[in-house]
Copies of this chain bind each other. A is one copy, B any other.
Amino acid sequence: MNTSDQRLVKGARARATIARHAADVASVEGLTGLSLGRLAADLGLSKSGVATLFGTKENLQLAAVQSARDVFIEHVVKPAFAEPGGMPRLKGFVDNWFAYIEEPVLAGGCFRVATTVEFDSRTGPVRDAVDADRRDWFALLEKEIRRAQGQGHLETRDAHTVAFALDAIVAAANTGARMGDQSAIPTARAIVDGLLA
């Protein structure tokens, strides 16, 4: 690699590190509270260096959404693709999501739950990115629910309704558990097992 290439690679790595830390911070404190200066201080970088990589706070927020999305795909979505399509993969999504909430990868638990609620009454590119991620997640769930129905499961129910209920219950488990409610995860698990039975 020439010097210019090396600089690009270094920049891309720094960008990924900062975006991942931004996702961690935002999972606890929200995307609104993110600032280039705060992230620079946390990571021992210069504020101008972080500003050069991201430009604006909005770009940093968008990078945090993308980074958190990558983490979710890595921990929840991808491993479930080892299971056959339909009910086994749907159960894989749910099991991995519960595990992701019980032992959070990001400091504040599920980033989607936090930022969907944070941005649901706003407009703009960050809200749109959060919404697109929400839609993708529903589409993924609904696809496997329909496959499961083709396998003779969940027959009488509308796929979107099943996805809505699963998402609602696991999101509430995340919030309850974060709030220190010890019963939240087992209660949610029992409801979800009932839904998928």
Q: Mark A130-144, 1 if CB is under 8 A from B, else 0.
A: 010010000000000
Judged by a CB distance under 8 angstroms, whether A32 is at the interface is yes
CB-contact partner of A178 in B120, B184, B187, under 8 A: B120
> Which partner residue on chain B sits nearest A169 by CB separation?
B168
- The CB with the most chain B CB atoms within 10 A, among A131, A134, A174, A178, is that of A178
The interface size of chain A toward B, counting residues with CB under 8 Å, comes to: 40
* Complex copy number for this chain: 2
- The CB with the most chain B CB atoms within 10 A, among A131, A174, A191, is that of A191
A191 to B168, CA, bound (A): 11
Judged by a CB distance under 8 angstroms, whether A107 is at the interface is yes
Judged by a CB distance under 8 angstroms, whether A3 is at the interface is no
- 24 A–B pairs (Cβ distance < 8 Å), ordered by A: A27-B121, A29-B121, A29-B122, A30-B118, A107-B121, A114-B121, A117-B117, A117-B175, A120-B174, A120-B179, A121-B178, A160-B183, A161-B187, A161-B191, A164-B176, A164-B184, A164-B188, A167-B172, A168-B169, A168-B171, A168-B172, A168-B188, A168-B191, A172-B172
